[in-house]
Amino acid sequence: MRTGTMDINAEGHLEIGGCDTIRLAKEYGTPLYILDEEAVVQNSREYLQSLQRLPRSQVVYAGKAFLTLGMCRIVDKLGLGLDVVSGGELYTALQAEFPAERIYFHGNNKSLFELESAIQAGVGRIVVDNRYELELLSQLAIKHHTQVSVLLRVTPGVEAHTHTYIQTGQEDSKFGVGLANDAALAMLKCIKALPNIDLKGVHCHIGSQIFDISCFKIAIDLMFDFIVQAAHHGIVVDELDLGGGLGIRYTEADDPVSITKFGHLLTETVLTACQQRSLTVPKIIIEPGRSLVGEAGTTIYEVGAIKDIPGIRKYASVDGGMGDNPRVALYQAQYHAIVANKPNETADFVYTIAGKCCESGDMLIHDGKLPFLEPGDILAILSTGAYNYSMASNYNLIPRLAVVTVYKGESELLVERESYADLVRLQKIPDRLCKKSVY
Ligand code: LLP
């Protein structure tokens, strides 16, 4: 069912990557993110294999889902590319010595500094979003006497979300350039006219947590129509980047398409589209984030106060919450939990799992079925690998949690737990406020 190595060991504890999660809780403290490295390896290999029928392809991990120095190393060792969306992500990748030529730099408002850093680092592709950026890029490329290889981000007018998608004639998006009114074609012409910019291809990303993958077919066909249109104007598009978006299983109600099925659909659609249009198959790039790391992550918490409001609800509070997982409050995301110290007990009770922030919306699970809970139980919330740590905050000045990677029975820190000292490390008390009498 789920990818990865989750199991129940002889002690009756939840085990991930051959490591007892109760021991991990003791060793590293809670709350704790646990990355099942084997799951990332399995998912990556599945992606690579599923695209094998394409003459040229590249799987690029979307770092926004979860990025640390160690994660960059994992991605590198698997031979994947890396999609970064900010100077901070780029810096992290370079600090981890990630090969610059496999970095794809995204963003709808990259700063001059970010673009210059990317050029100086020699990143493989810059995904151009708009004309302003293109002009900055061209000036920088000339200044640095270099050629910059770019993809143009196009909004094909297909927008997909979990179960549905819509096709829009006009594309209302802060990202990229629309196909309508030949706006994208005009940008391609503009790119071709610039001296130090080398147009490699086009890019689209139609959404995230997608279950109905037929929308990718529609997007692919639209993109190939665009590639044909470009060819009529003498513009060769050699690379097509289809973005990310495949959905994962958060709760038992989710039924995502497998990576293999998704890869095969992309392959078939691309090969057919090229055959129909008598096109050479371009290099196909995909940028999975969530589907590579989402199910590989688990967060463990210690249960504290339990509040039973008779006839209304049972609340069990844990030692983390919206600071480490803002997705519930932000997107009404749903999660599934297991009690790691008694995973075999039947889920006969209904609890709402509350975080410890001073905010009523700070919940992790609304009315979830769980075994009887007691203070000290270790609760494991599944599928927290994507967009949890990367979106974590210090709200209420709660230190961000530690991240460990588990692999074949061994655990190692990817990120240390923040200390209270870390919380105030960048803060200053102005001199004026150090005087005795101020106001
Ligand atoms: N490529 C581009 C250009 C993207 O914008 C994204 C995600 C991806 C790839 C990766 O998509 P994935 O395979 O992870 O679906 N914070 C939200 C998700 C935002 C996704 C933004 N873009 C959440 O927690 O659900």
Tens digit of each residue's pLDDT (9 = 90 or more) over 28-47: 999 999 999 999 999 999 99
From 19, 72, 190, 358, active-site residue: 358
Cα Dmax for the chain: 80
Q: For 242-264, how does the pLDDT look when each residue is reduced to its tens digit (9 = 90+)?
A: 999 999 999 999 999 999 999 99
Residue nearest to atom 2 of ligand 1 (CA): 243
Measured CA to CA, the distance from residue 191 to residue 79 in angstroms comes to 30
- Please report, for the chain, the start and end positions of each structural domain, with discontinuous segments joined by +: 7-35+295-424, 106-288
- Ligand 1 geometric centre to CA of 288 (Å): 8
172 has pLDDT over 80:
no
Ligand 1 atom at shortest distance from the alpha carbon of 391? 16
Q: Tell me the average pLDDT across 52-68.
A: 98
20 has pLDDT over 90:
yes
Determine the residue of 40, 44, 61, 64 to mutate for testing ligand 1's pocket, defined as the one with the most ligand atoms within 8 A of the Cβ atom: 64
Determine the residue of 208, 246, 327, 332 to mutate for testing ligand 1's pocket, defined as the one with the most ligand atoms within 8 A of the Cβ atom: 208
pTM for this structure? 0.97
392 neighbors 323 (Cβ within 8 angstroms): yes
Residue nearest to atom 19 of ligand 1 (CA): 208
Measured CA to CA, the distance from residue 124 to residue 147 in angstroms comes to 11
> Which residues line the pocket of ligand 1, CB cutoff 6 A?
62, 64-65, 83, 106, 205, 208-209, 243-246, 287-291, 327, 331, 386-387
169 has pLDDT over 60:
no
420 has pLDDT over 80:
yes
Q: How is 188-233 classified by DSSP, letter by letter? A: HHHHHHSTTEEEEEEE---BSSB--THHHHHHHHHHHHHHHHHHHT
Choose among 46, 91, 85, 48: nearest CA to 65.
Answer: 85
- Ligand 1 geometric centre to CA of 425 (Å): 31
Q: Tell me the average pLDDT across 149-158.
A: 95
- Ligand 1 geometric centre to CA of 361 (Å): 24
Q: Does domain 7-35+295-424 have CATH number 1.10.357.10?
A: no
Q: Does domain 106-288 have CATH number 3.40.710.10?
A: no
Q: For 271-330, how does the pLDDT look when each residue is reduced to its tens digit (9 = 90+)?
A: 999 999 999 999 999 999 999 999 999 999 999 999 999 999 999 999 999 999 999 999
- Ligand 1 geometric centre to CA of 321 (Å): 22
170 has pLDDT over 60:
no
- Ligand 1 geometric centre to CA of 245 (Å): 6
Q: For 331-386, how does the pLDDT look when each residue is reduced to its tens digit (9 = 90+)?
A: 999 999 999 999 999 999 999 999 999 999 999 999 999 999 999 999 999 999 99
β 313-318/297-309 pair status: antiparallel
Residue nearest to atom 20 of ligand 1 (CA): 208
Q: For 214-235, how does the pLDDT look when each residue is reduced to its tens digit (9 = 90+)?
A: 999 999 999 999 999 999 999 9
What's the confidence (pLDDT) of residue 159? 84
Q: Tell me the average pLDDT across 78-92.
A: 98
- Catalytic residue list contains 190: no
Choose among 93, 101, 190: nearest CA to 148.
Answer: 101
1 has pLDDT over 80:
no
